[in-house]
Amino acid sequence: MAIPTFQAQLIEKLKPQHTHHKGGFAPLNNTLGFEKIAIVSTGTAWRLDGLLKAAKYTHVDLEVPLQPPWSDDEVDVFRGKGVPGRAGHIGRGQARCWLGHLNIWREMIAQNWATVLVMEDDADWDVAVKQQLLRVSPLIRQVSGDKGQVDWSPYGKAWDLLWLGHCGDYIPESPASLMDETLPESSLYRENDGRLTNFPSHLRMVHKSVAPICTYAYALTMPAASKLYELSRQGIDRIITDYLREWCQSGTLRCLTVNPEVFHHHKQAGEVSSDIAVVEGWDDLAAKAKSDYTANIRFSARCSSNAGRPVACQNEFGGVM
pLDDT tens, position by position, 157-202: 999 999 999 999 999 988 999 999 999 988 888 887 778 888 888 9
Query: Of 258, 262, 250, which Cα lies nearest the Cα of 175?
Result: 258
pLDDT at 300 over 80: yes
Q: What phi, psi does 224 have (nearest 5°)?
A: -65, -40
The helix-helix angle for 222-232 and 92-111 (nearest 10°) equals 140
What are 129-139's pLDDT values in tens digits? 999 999 999 99
Query: Of 307, 310, 50, 315, which Cα lies nearest the Cα of 182?
Result: 310
What are 60-119's pLDDT values in tens digits? 999 999 998 889 888 888 888 766 666 567 888 889 999 999 999 999 999 999 999 999
